[in-house]
Amino acid sequence: MMEELAQKFHTVSGAGCVVVTGAGISAISALFAQPGASRTLLEVQVPYTQKALDEFVGTRAEQHVSKSEAILIAESALSRAHYLAADNLKQSLFGVGCTAAIATDRIRRGEDRAHIAWSDGKQTGGMSVWFDKETRTRIDEEQVVAAMVMNSIAAVLKIEDRMEINIFETERIDEFG
């Protein structure tokens, strides 16, 4: 389903930058696996360390792995899209940002969670998820986050199709925007 949705992205007008950190990388793989990715993607970045992410957004976020950080990443990705497109594109531009802290092999304070945001310069939206650490593996959490990244791209491109996201009763998902 992820690849089918990616193919739809590549058939509509709109191009942008996608930036993920902490999770969501399999969405990028699905986007590039389909022909036509160059029509949709201007750039993809994975600033994995905090210093790399701070450099990408141009500031240090007040709260890391948060809704506000996801919006900051999406807005920075949109700015990057405008820079890369310059005057060569007449289509709409977008930025998508994902920040996540998912299952790891070390002890980490805080919840396993992800926040994904999108912006087209006129509207901003997105979603957040809080996982049950006792129920999911890192791979399980990555799959959910990747689906949320794909759904955010669908939202900003005004495509109605969405990936199904199943969460447990002990988990929470919120949409914003």
For 16-41, the pLDDT digits (tens) are 999 999 999 999 999 999 999 999 99
What is the Cα–Cα distance from 103 to 62, expressed in whole angstroms? 23
CA angle 43, 84, 36 (to 5 degrees): 50
Task: Kindly tell me if the per-residue pLDDT of 88 is higher than 80.
Answer: no
For tokens 């990747």, what's the residue?
146
CB contact at 8 A, 73 and 99: yes
CB contact at 8 A, 21 and 48: yes
What is the Cα–Cα distance from 83 to 9, expressed in whole angstroms? 21
What pLDDT, on the 0 to 100 scale, is given for residue 108? 74
CB contact at 8 A, 2 and 150: yes
